Amino acid sequence: MQEINKNAPVLVTGATGYIAGWIIKKLLEKNIPVHATIRNKDQKEKIAHLDKMASNSSSDITYFEADLLKANSFDKAMEGCELVIHTASPFFLSPKDPQKDLLDPAVNGTKNILNSVNNTPSVKRVVLTSSVAAIYGDAKDAQELPEQTLNESHWNTTSSANHQPYSYSKTLAEKAAWDMHKQQDRWSLAVINPSFVMGPATNPHANFQSKLFLQQLGNGTMKSGVPKSQIGIVDVREVSEAHIQAGFDTKAQGRHILTSKTSSFLEMAQILRKGFGDQFPIPKRTVPKWLLWLVGPTVGYSRKMTTNNIGYSFKLDNRKSIEALGVQYRPIEESLTEFFQQLVDEKLIKK
């Protein structure tokens, strides 16, 4: 495997994103120059937090405008880069138009990025941000597995454009990446498959799904109860460090599940209630499955989602990330509490 030069710039796509912000922060702290792609360089407020990071670093950020749906728009940003970290992909749980909002940007965007990689002789390695959503679609999918445990060998086979479209978009995008990787022998590929990402943001004022979920736990939206369902949780700081480790350690191969533990929505609420329960209407109970089945469709929670997820337990095997990438997982209590406190401090969760 070719060694990656740490003096060469690293391209990070989707630079204003939640995960990308931390990747850029950690690269700059390691004195590694960054090429950052954004959609519009004129929107200075969206990159102010990145500019601040660069001003406190001895390394630099160079911005490039690029569009996931425009062929060759990443070519310029890749010039001179040996490592490309592709994080850019939309995350909507209830899109109005799944094909336009999720599938096209995720799949065609990945193909456009990798076509640019093929056009850029300097690139030796690509790290792709995928998701555990490409490993399973519904909690029910794990029920026939030993100890209901999912690992990197599993693929999501149950999602579609009409059911769990976000999961479907991540599955198709990752498969497209592996297909394009197999068609050449110049650059290597590593994939990061995080579970639901939590932890403080480099820009808490941006809009992203993790923030929205925590706001709903704290602002009364879910005060009548949460679904009796589980998700894997991982801290954004571990996710960012894993991307960088996978980028420079070319022995890291294949997919890597990133998760600290699998937690129920109620357990997450209970963690927050310990620190903030007297100040905010954090939920205390679960919603009965029959009631969620009845009213869920009115709030974007389909009956098929209720049927295939509520009441099912599963686990995610994180051993490969620990052994291959050296990930050290912090407790989810720390991730949730620090993130919630940040949102309170920024007045993004109101009592």
Annotated catalytic residues are: 170
Q: Structure tokens of 248?
A: 């420079």
Q: Among residues 89, 257, 68, which one has the least CA distance to residue 166?
A: 89
Q: Any idea what DSSP says for residue 326?
A: -
Phi, psi of 322, deg, nearest 5: -70, -45
Measured at the alpha carbon of residue 141, what is the angle toward residues 135 and 143, in degrees to the nearest 5? Answer: 125
Please, what is the end-to-end C-alpha distance for the chain in angstroms?
Answer: 53
Q: Give residue 6's region: left, alpha or beta (phi > 0; psi -120 to 50).
A: alpha
- Identify whether the C-beta of residue 2 lies closer than 8 Å to the C-beta of residue 26: no
Phi, psi of 18, deg, nearest 5: -60, -55
Q: Structure tokens of 260?
A: 């600290």
The DSSP bridge pattern shows strands 61-65 and 34-38 to be parallel
